[in-house]
Structure 1
Amino acid sequence: MLTKRFSPEGQSAFEARFEAQKIAFGPVVFQCVRHAWKHGMLDALAAAGEAGIAVEQLAATGRWSPYRLKVVLETCLSAGVVQLVEGRYVLDKAGYCVLSDSITQVNIDFVNDVCYEGLFHLDQSLVTETPAGLPALGQWPTLYQGLAELAEPAQSSWFAFDHLYSDTSFPSILPDVFATAPARVMDIGANTGKFSIAALNHQPTVALHLVDLPQQLAVAQRRLEEEGLAERAHFHPVDMLKPDSAFPGGMDLIWMSQFLSCFSEPVIASILKRAADALAPRGQVLILDTLWDRQRYDIAAYCLINTSPYFTAMASGNSKVYESADYLRLAKDAGLELITSRDGIGYCHSLLRFGKAA
């Protein structure tokens, strides 16, 4: 396990106080920087180049009032997104990231469109362990029942966030999935069927069993039919929150990708126990997930840690981005033992391979 320290060594009390003010005004900075990006101010600065451009020149275009420009760009200045050089604004490095880095943009959209309003109720969610902020998006017990019904832009931002982290991992993990030549593979938490499609295309003889809520399976089935792959797919609607809902048995390999973080530890324990019971002799369980303690770079650990409050306030009320030790402990309790692990997959994934304990 890597030791994580996010504050620099030797930070002075004055510097720490400045960092604390950044926390206090974080929501203000977020909204102003987002406004500058979404409404073209950062584009205008990028076009001006190193020479920069004055507020009066920007206002003369008729796109923004001087007041609007000053409020937003001064906050951007305080955040290191822009510089002010002899009265002219110049885009800084952090501003270029906001303007051109896809990860930054997906994260901003996700926080704003999915999380921002509901996070106001994080206090209540932490106390009650229920998604108290979810009514900002819709009336469902958890977010997962409502994914197919999410209004825009929340739906697009949610799937962009989810797929950004998973899609980069799929090409490199398919050899791991089929290393033991499984004939029957079960995709638990199939979501929109992206992994199932990749697996079916990779191995033309495998049979895929998709397990998820009925709403999600309907989306996955439609996509597999469009790809001409539905003949080798079998769909099993299961409510993961019901421990008596068994998974189909005789599986050579059970796959779970970015899935267990959607649930509390007791539910994870139940899912892993049901997965162990569904394995064929010598079958294995593969878990691909974003484990914050196994990240090489602090930037990845930072993003993952700060995704947990979304799970609390918006998704389920009692799930999070876990440490690897949590999964290992719960898997052991379910009768599974770790065979191998591999880190550094895609942006921030680890792959844990389990077999039934002797």
Structure 2
Amino acid sequence: MNLTQDKSFSPDKQTAFAARYEAQKIAFGPVVFQCVRYAWKRGILEALAKSAESGRSIEELAETGQWTSYALKTVLETCLSAGVVRLSEGNYLLDKAGYCVLSDSITQINLNFVHDVCYQGLFDLDISLDQEKPIGLKTLGDWPTLYQGMAELPEPAKTSWFAFDHHYSDTSFPEILPDVFATAPRRIMDVGANTGKFSLAALEYNAGVELFLVDLPQQLEVAKSKLAAAGLSARSSLHPVDMLLPDAPFPAGMDVVWMSQFLSCFSEPVIAGILQRASDALAPHGQLLIMDTFWDRQRYDIAAYCLINTSPYFTAMASGNSKIYQSGDYIRLGEQAGLKLLTVRDSIGYCHSLLRFVKE
């Protein structure tokens, strides 16, 4: 992995003219986003895919009655400028980026997440950054942070949020469980348990382990029902904790404390407090395992790009002062909490890394 402090997403020899073109793509980015989304959601891209070899003219598409000629011209010309479609002898054909929009799950999940959860709220990103408060959250509901309102998110934001969250985490759980149980833990605490997906997987993986789920009360209610439905309530216990209250302790005597895609929900000072409480909760020689998406530990720029540009969501919509961090941030804060980094494992699932700490 390239962990250097020097990083660029631009070609090594980019001309001034090419850079100016890239700048215009930024300026018109929201316009392109909405037109491409319209072409996808309203079935225009699908119609072109069905005529992959010959393509379709505006007139042919309009004859179906699904779209007006005006709408088709406006949207497809923007899609053309974005490389989503191409124009050949008067017919529009799906281009490679268009096939990604039409068939790639990551692209579709990201598009839905940005549109349904973030788009309107990002209009106030400047105020959110200045005040370090999620000002844009008002477009979804009236809560201090998104996490208090998670169970009440309106549709389609709720579905799109969970699809986004689960896509980036679910691909990692199956292969990470051997790492979790490498030290034969009997008591595992899942901090930031959310809907209980990891806890359920861990309880099913090992019949002798006991899980302690720590999160907001609203989240634990969802986890409680899922644990009960799976018949796993007897080996699990729920511990409601508001992470923003620094004096709220975690259950003690843990062999392993687990955190997955959790700390990025908080500011650095709050993370420092959470890690200190996690350290205090560990039994002698206990370990803290943090699995998260660090943009500086990605093999491919596409993953780093997606992760970096998720941070403004945390600013405008989620908490106002959290982000996708670099791995060094967690390592530094863990050491301040009396934890020693043992290993780092990369390339888990789509874009995760696992930091393993031991209590010194």
Q: Which residue matches 1:199? A: 202
Q: Name the amino acid aligned to 1:124.
A: I
Is residue 341 from structure 1 mapped to residue 305 from structure 2 by the alignment? no
Q: Name the amino acid aligned to 2:336.
A: D
> 1:333 & 1:262 partners in 2: Cα distance?
19
> 1:75 & 1:222 partners in 2: Cα distance?
46
Task: State whether residues 42 and 91 of structure 1, in contact with CA within 8 Å, keep that contact through their aligned partners in structure 2.
Answer: yes
Could you give the per-residue CA deviations for residues 112-142 of structure 1, whole angstroms, max 9, x where no partner exists? 0000000000000100000010000000000
Q: Name the amino acid aligned to 1:7.
A: S
> 2:275 & 2:210 partners in 1: Cα distance?
21
Q: Which residue matches 2:280? A: 277
> 1:12 & 1:320 partners in 2: Cα distance?
32
Runs of 4+ aligned structure 1 residues displaced above 2 Å come to none
Is residue 249 from structure 1 mapped to residue 248 from structure 2 by the alignment? no
Q: Which residue matches 2:28? A: 25
> 2:226 & 2:138 partners in 1: Cα distance?
29
Is residue 4 from structure 1 mapped to residue 7 from structure 2 by the alignment? yes
Q: 1:239 aligns with which of 237, 242, 247?
A: 242
Q: Which residue matches 1:141? A: 144
Could you give the per-residue CA deviations for residues 14-33 of structure 1, whole angstroms, max 9, x where no partner exists? 00000000000000000000
> 1:105 & 1:83 partners in 2: Cα distance?
20
Q: Deviation of residue 12 (structure 1)?
A: 0.3
Alignment of structure 1 residues 147-162 onto 2, 5 Å: 147-162=150-165
Is residue 176 from structure 1 mapped to residue 179 from structure 2 by the alignment? yes
Task: State whether residues 247 and 275 of structure 1, in contact with CA within 8 Å, keep that contact through their aligned partners in structure 2.
Answer: yes
Q: Name the amino acid aligned to 1:264.
A: S
Task: State whether residues 4 and 298 of structure 1, in contact with CA within 8 Å, keep that contact through their aligned partners in structure 2.
Answer: no
Is residue 296 from structure 1 mapped to residue 299 from structure 2 by the alignment? yes
Q: Which residue matches 1:210? A: 213
> 2:119 & 2:159 partners in 1: Cα distance?
15
> 1:143 & 1:257 partners in 2: Cα distance?
18
Is residue 92 from structure 1 mapped to residue 95 from structure 2 by the alignment? yes
Q: Which residue matches 1:36? A: 39
Is residue 81 from structure 1 mapped to residue 90 from structure 2 by the alignment? no
Alignment of structure 1 residues 221-236 onto 2, 5 Å: 221-236=224-239
> 1:116 & 1:282 partners in 2: Cα distance?
46
Alignment of structure 1 residues 114-133 onto 2, 5 Å: 114-133=117-136
Could you give the per-residue CA deviations for residues 68-126 of structure 1, whole angstroms, max 9, x where no partner exists? 00000000000000000010000000000000000000000000000000000000010
Count of residues in Structure 1 that have an aligned counterpart in Structure 2: 357
- The runs of 5 or more residues in structure 2 that have no matched partner are none
Could you give the per-residue CA deviations for residues 299-342 of structure 1, whole angstroms, max 9, x where no partner exists? 00000000000000000000000001100110011111101110
TM-score (norm 1): 0.99
> 1:39 & 1:161 partners in 2: Cα distance?
22
Q: Deviation of residue 4 (structure 1)?
A: 2.9
- The runs of 5 or more residues in structure 1 that have no matched partner are none
TM-score (norm 2): 0.99
Secondary structure of 2:226's match? helix
> 1:230 & 1:154 partners in 2: Cα distance?
30
> 1:139 & 1:254 partners in 2: Cα distance?
32
Task: State whether residues 82 and 91 of structure 1, in contact with CA within 8 Å, keep that contact through their aligned partners in structure 2.
Answer: yes
Q: Deviation of residue 45 (structure 1)?
A: 0.2
Is residue 259 from structure 1 mapped to residue 262 from structure 2 by the alignment? yes
> 2:243 & 2:344 partners in 1: Cα distance?
25
Q: Deviation of residue 9 (structure 1)?
A: 1.1
Q: Name the amino acid aligned to 2:211.
A: L
